[in-house]
Amino acid sequence: MLGRRRFAVAFLTGSSAVQMGANMLAALLASSVLGPHGRGLMVLGVATAGIVPLLAGMGTGPQLRSRFPAVAGGTGQRSVIASYTWWSAAALVLAAGLAVLVSALSAPLIDPALADPRYLLALAVVTCGYVAHTQLPDIWYAAGLFRCGSAWAMATTGGGAVGLLTAVLIAPDVWTLLLGQGTGMLVAAGAQAVHLRAAGLLCLARPARRELRDLLRRGGRALGLTMGLALALRLDRYALGSIAGPAAVGIYSVASTLGQVPRLIPNAIGQIVNRDAAANTDTFRPARATALTAVAVVAAGTVVAATGWLVIVPLLGGEFAGAKPLMLVLLAAEIAYVPYAVASRALLGAGWMGTAGAFGLIWSAAAVGLFAGAVALWGSFGAALACVTLYAGISASSWLLLSRRLARVRSVPTRAGPTSAAPAGPCEGGRADLDPAPRPAAL
């Protein structure tokens, strides 16, 4: 896969790098303007806005990506897209309401500012932006149009960064920065929706009730993984906020932002893995991709560690000095994260939604106790150590789960995978960017 799809992998990695760069710029700018306490409040808002859309989406994105190769170019494509379009619209309202509710309920435990009406309004807007950022690119990826999906994901992230920068220049406050970021994301998402509509990948026709029910039922099985693991990977912020306060979250978030830079590589590879597992499970080979990804993460992490150690204090001030040792621990956690990034995408792409969902629920429950205990004992450093333990655990167990599933599939006679071509879009023709002569991928 990596040999034949170097351009697609490079484009996805570049897209992730641009998004990560925009997020880093926004995070560092917000940290310098707001200080540890204000930055901590913003981090909690962004964490909520990033998690809730996964619940509101009900796993429809992974299910669309798993199902689309079988219906692309056929009569069922319009029905699937219509169902996904309407549920995505409903998810905007549902996610905004849930985010506001979560923040208001968290205020007595963490900080009363989380229930301020202006903060809640801004949180609702930025949550809608994250819903669009979560749901819309999955349509491009489902159709195999990775360049389009990556380009629009970059545009949405960039729009949020521009909106945040505008808010910093006009009226720097926690709620104005959240509002600016959300508004910028929604502007870019609106433009993306127009292009999806032109490509025939966004349909406003009345969805078939059976198709919508099937999309939600099957997608819901994956909710444990998409929602459960997303919650588990962000519980460090909530545990730290409730025990140590927003200022500790602000310092920790600087270390986390830098520590997660190498994650852009496995995230990019994961998009290809998801598509390959959906297209042909029989010939799917994840080991080589995982090994190469791990090497790349180690190299990237070394560069980030050296750079971050030198620039954190000069750039943000002495009050953020505690982020330096935390960053090193969190970079180690990213190495442990690599096998999970590949295995989880493969489980979803192959359509093993129930298995993936159960896996996610188990580990999200384990993460609650792990982070609560580690933060109570060792504070921010305990949260970072808990990340290493959690990532290693989910990687080992997800890899074992995937290996057993693949062995079971290959124990039966080989079946032919779907060969339907994806529709051409305005950014590229069909799947030519992935493979000039499409054939079963060997990973």
**Picking from 23-37, 82-96, 107-121, which range would have the lowest pLDDT averaged per residue?**
23-37
Q: What pLDDT is stored for residue 6 in this prediction?
A: 58
Q: Which residue would you say has higher pLDDT here, 92 or 54? A: 92
The yes-or-no verdict on residue 190 having pLDDT over 50 is: yes
- Using alpha carbons only, give the angle 175, 181, 186 rounded to the nearest 5 degrees: 125
CA distances from 70 to 6, 78, 113, 281 (A): 25, 13, 48, 13
Q: What pLDDT is stored for residue 57 in this prediction?
A: 85
Q: What pLDDT is stored for residue 407 in this prediction?
A: 75
Return all residues near 409 (Cβ < 8 A) that are at least 6 apart: 281, 282
Q: What pLDDT is stored for residue 417 in this prediction?
A: 44
Q: What pLDDT is stored for residue 257 in this prediction?
A: 82
CA distances from 292 to 35, 282, 295 (A): 39, 22, 5
H helices of 263-350, where? 264-279, 287-316, 323-349
Q: Which residue would you say has higher pLDDT here, 50 or 15? A: 50
Closest CA to 364 of 51, 38, 8: 51
Over residues 414-438, the pLDDT tens digits come to: 544 444 444 444 444 333 333 333 3
Distance between CA atoms of residues 114 and 388, nearest Å: 29
| DSSP per position, 61-72 | HHHHHHHHHHHT
Over residues 348-406, the pLDDT tens digits come to: 766 666 666 677 777 777 888 888 888 888 888 998 999 999 889 888 888 888 877 77
Give backbone dihedrals phi and psi of 405, rounded to 5 degrees, phi first: -65, -45
The yes-or-no verdict on residue 66 having pLDDT over 70 is: yes
Distance between CA atoms of residues 17 and 22, nearest Å: 8
With 0.85 as the threshold, say if the pTM is over it. no
Average pLDDT (7-11) is: 60
Q: What pLDDT is stored for residue 424 in this prediction?
A: 43
Over residues 28-58, the pLDDT tens digits come to: 777 778 888 888 888 889 888 888 888 888 8
First to last CA, the chain: 5
Distance between CA atoms of residues 365 and 232, nearest Å: 8
Give backbone dihedrals phi and psi of 348, rounded to 5 degrees, phi first: -70, -45
H helices of 72-208, where? 76-106, 117-142, 146-170, 174-198
Q: What pLDDT is stored for residue 351 in this prediction?
A: 64
CB of 266 within 8 A of CB of 286?
no
Return all residues near 325 (Cβ < 8 A) that are at least 6 apart: 381
Token output for 234:
């962000």
Average pLDDT (158-171) is: 89
If you average pLDDT over every residue of the chain, what do you get? 79
- Using alpha carbons only, give the angle 254, 235, 21 rounded to the nearest 5 degrees: 35
